[in-house]
Amino acid sequence: MLLALTLLLAQSDGPAEAVLRRLEVSVLDASGDRVQGLVPEELVVLENGVARDVARVEPDTRPLSVTLLIDSSRSLRSVYRLQLLGAVEGFFEKLPAETRVAVWTTGARPSLRYGPGTDTAAALRALERVVPEGGNTVLDALVETTGDVGIPEGERTAVVVLSSNGIEFSSRDRRQVVDAARPQAGEFHVVYFQEGESDLEMQAGYSYVFSELTKRSGGLYETPLSSMAAADRMRRIGADLQARYRIRYATLEGLEERKLEVQVARPDVKTRVVSGAEQP
């Protein structure tokens, strides 16, 4: 660790101070599972195109809490049980063991169906009893479920949305939703699929909220063309939440912008930087 800092200081041309910074990254193998047993010598952090030495890497074992919002509006009656419940089950299977989940549906009004708890089988049973109705209220649900939520020290949280482009009944403006939800609840991940016809202005509102929340929080924004592809995208998000490593790397203080990439010296490995440039 000290060697990495010493070398970086020696290479710098100005008075910039060398520091260790931390980033969070997901590392998946070709099967979509977490890569096991990573060591610093296998990793390199590219910061603004410059290779930085990795001082430490460790699995992110912090407890995870997930708030799951599922579109249960009337327009999805034909696919709710056939496609969406299977997508949720696959998502649960990919999550880390003992993940705490709270499950909400957004048809007609935001409704808590399960949790928070760790019994995903009970969560699925609760969803099986739901009868899709009304319009979608996912934007209201985003605010209602995150408004008073903070991130407990030593833990991590995520909000995961599974929504269609159906009629939106929420009462809030899209910019208000982003401002109200973003500071509260850690990462946002969204699977937003097309199912039937929808108003273009309404689609623009959904797209703005979902893209802004995921981009600002380091989450995934998946946009399959139909509900049939939702299961694969939900499994991808579950695997991403499981496959986390925390990395400390040597860098220079005072950089105005940090474009980060992580490379692993193993074949068929995919990496994604979730958050970075934070001082430990």
Question: What number is the average pLDDT over the span 192-210?
Answer: 85
Of 97-111, 116-130, 182-196, least confident by mean pLDDT is 182-196
- Dump pLDDT digits (tens) for 238-255: 999 999 999 999 998 877
pLDDT of 208 strictly over 80:
yes
Pairing between strand 187-193 and 156-164? Answer: parallel
pLDDT of 4 strictly over 60:
no
Which one-letter amino acid corresponds to residue 233? R
What is the predicted pLDDT for the residue at 110? 95
Structure tokens at 73: 């509006």
Question: What number is the average pLDDT over the span 164-173?
Answer: 84
What is the predicted pLDDT for the residue at 243? 96
What is the predicted pLDDT for the residue at 277? 43
Which one-letter amino acid corresponds to residue 199? D
Whole-angstrom distance, CA of residue 58 vs CA of residue 9: 25
What pLDDT band is residue 263 in, cutting at 50, 70 and 90?
Answer: very high
Q: Using the 8-state DSSP alphabet, how is residue 229 labeled? A: G
Q: Using the 8-state DSSP alphabet, how is residue 35 labeled? A: P
| CA 185 to chain CA centroid, nearest Å | 11
CA 272, 184, 92, 22 torsion-angle sign: positive
Could you give all domains of the chain from N- to C-terminal order, each with its CATH number?
64-241 (3.40.50.410)
- Dump pLDDT digits (tens) for 137-160: 999 999 988 865 566 778 899 999
What pLDDT band is residue 38 in, cutting at 50, 70 and 90?
Answer: very high
pLDDT of 2 strictly over 70:
no
Q: Using the 8-state DSSP alphabet, how is residue 268 labeled? A: T
- Dump pLDDT digits (tens) for 221-231: 999 999 999 99
pLDDT of 232 strictly over 90:
yes
Sheet with 43-47: list strands edge to edge: 50-52, 43-47, 260-264
Contact partners, residue 142, CB within 8 Å, separation at least 6: 69, 159, 161, 177, 180, 181, 209, 213
What is the predicted pLDDT for the residue at 220? 96
What are the helix (H) ranges across the chain? Answer: 2-11, 85-94, 120-128, 138-146, 174-181, 200-217, 230-242
In 10 A of CB 22, how many CB atoms? 16
Percentage of the chain lying above the pLDDT 70 cut: 89
Residue-averaged pLDDT of the chain: 88
Which one-letter amino acid corresponds to residue 18? A
Q: What is the pTM of this model?
A: 0.89
Range with top average pLDDT, 20-24, 119-123, 163-167, 174-178 = 119-123
